[in-house]
Amino acid sequence: MDVLGIDIGGSGIKAAPVDVTTGAFSAPRVKVATPRPALPDPIAEAVKGLVDGYGWTGPTGIAFPGVVIGGVTYTAANLDPAWIGLDARALFAKATGLTVSLLNDADAAGTAEMKFGAAAGQDGTVLLLTFGTGIGSALFTDGVLVPNTEFGHIEIHGKDAEERASERARELHDLSWGKWAGRVDDYLTHLEALVSPSLFIIGGGISRKSDKFLPLLTGVRAKIVPAALHNDAGIVGAAMAAAAT
Ligand code: BGC
């Protein structure tokens, strides 16, 4: 069964039809820039453009970079505050004319990694972290997701963790791999003290460059692996969520 997966990020919106039985794309991925300011209506229009580009009329799942409960978006750290408290699922349904599912982007990525990727079949506590414009988190215990954990916003040395250790922070402050990895190590150490995962998965685009920083992450007891689906995990997980409803 094919489902359209769409992943809304702080810099780009990506989409692809996904065969949810294998996790593979059934057509090439398309990416457009996230409209700025990142207001609801222009983003809904961009989503509609992606849906129309595939001539899509079937089930559709959307991953969103904020807390999502019952289709309502409650935070939007890297988008416009107009999303806060909005029935975003209804907005996307109206814009596209389709029934859509909506969930947090890191939760989507984690769902895909648990089924098809780096944590397939993994029991115990698994924590996936995505490093991009922000830091997203997805916490699993024996394969079951605890949604909307938002560990990118724990405070470390008086600052929001994602301000210090996201991929954007690395680029913005022109941090060396060593310096950035030091910040990530510090962050993982805090998280290990809080939830003691047996496995950390490092997701987001940065997961393709894991040779540059994984050997530098030495502070935690848990195993650390890169996401197997890299930056496509959000699209796959969004599609899986729609297939499950
Ligand atoms: C948001 C999270 C999101 C993460 C990655 C954070 O700023 O609060 O909900 O998962 O960025 O996009």
Is 77 within 8 Å of 162 (Cβ atoms)?
Answer: yes
Give the pocket of ligand 1 (CB within 6 Å). Answer: 65-67, 75, 77-78, 104-106, 130, 132, 134-136, 150, 152, 162
> Which letter does DSSP use for residue 158 in this model?
T
In terms of DSSP H, where are the helices of 152-232?
Answer: 161-165, 167-172, 177-195, 210-213
With contact defined as beta carbons under 8 Å apart, do 163 and 155 qualify?
no
- Phi/psi for 239 (5° steps) reads -65, -40
Q: Which residues have CB under 8 Å from 238's CB, separation 6+?
A: 5, 6, 7, 61, 62, 63, 101, 103, 108
Q: 150 C-alpha to center of ligand 1: Å?
A: 7
For the chain, residues with pLDDT lower than 50 are none
**Pairing mode, strands 72-73 and 86-87:** antiparallel
Please say whether the dihedral angle defined by the alpha carbons of residues 10, 210, 182 and 225, taken in this order, is positive or negative: positive
Confirm if 61 and 239 have CB atoms less than 8 A apart.
yes
Q: How many CA atoms lie within 13 A of 107 on its CB side?
A: 21
Q: What is the pLDDT of residue 245?
A: 87
* 52 sits in which H/E element: helix 40-53
Structural domain boundaries of the chain? 2-107+233-244, 120-228
Question: Fold for domain 2-107+233-244?
Answer: Nucleotidyltransferase; domain 5 (3.30.420)
Q: Which of 13, 74, 139, 162 to mutate to test the pocket of ligand 1 (most atoms within 8 A of CB)?
A: 162
For ligand 1, atom 12, the nearest C-alpha belongs to: 65
Please name the residue whose Cα sits nearest to atom 1 of ligand 1.
66
- Distance from the CA of 208 to the center of ligand 1, in angstroms? 20
Domains 2-107+233-244 and 120-228 share a fold: yes
Q: What share of the chain is helix, strand, coil (3-state, %, to 5)?
A: 40, 25, 35
Task: Note the pLDDT tens digit of each residue in 111-142.
Answer: 999 999 999 989 999 999 999 999 999 999 99
Model pTM?
A: 0.98
Ligand 1 atom nearest to 137, measured from its CA: 10
* Residue 242, H or E segment: helix 233-244
CATH class for the domain made up of 120-228: alpha beta
pLDDT for res 173 = 97
- Distance (Å) from CA 75 to ligand 1 centroid: 9
CB count within 10 Å of CB 117 equals 26
Look at residue 63 in the predicted model and tell me its pLDDT: 98
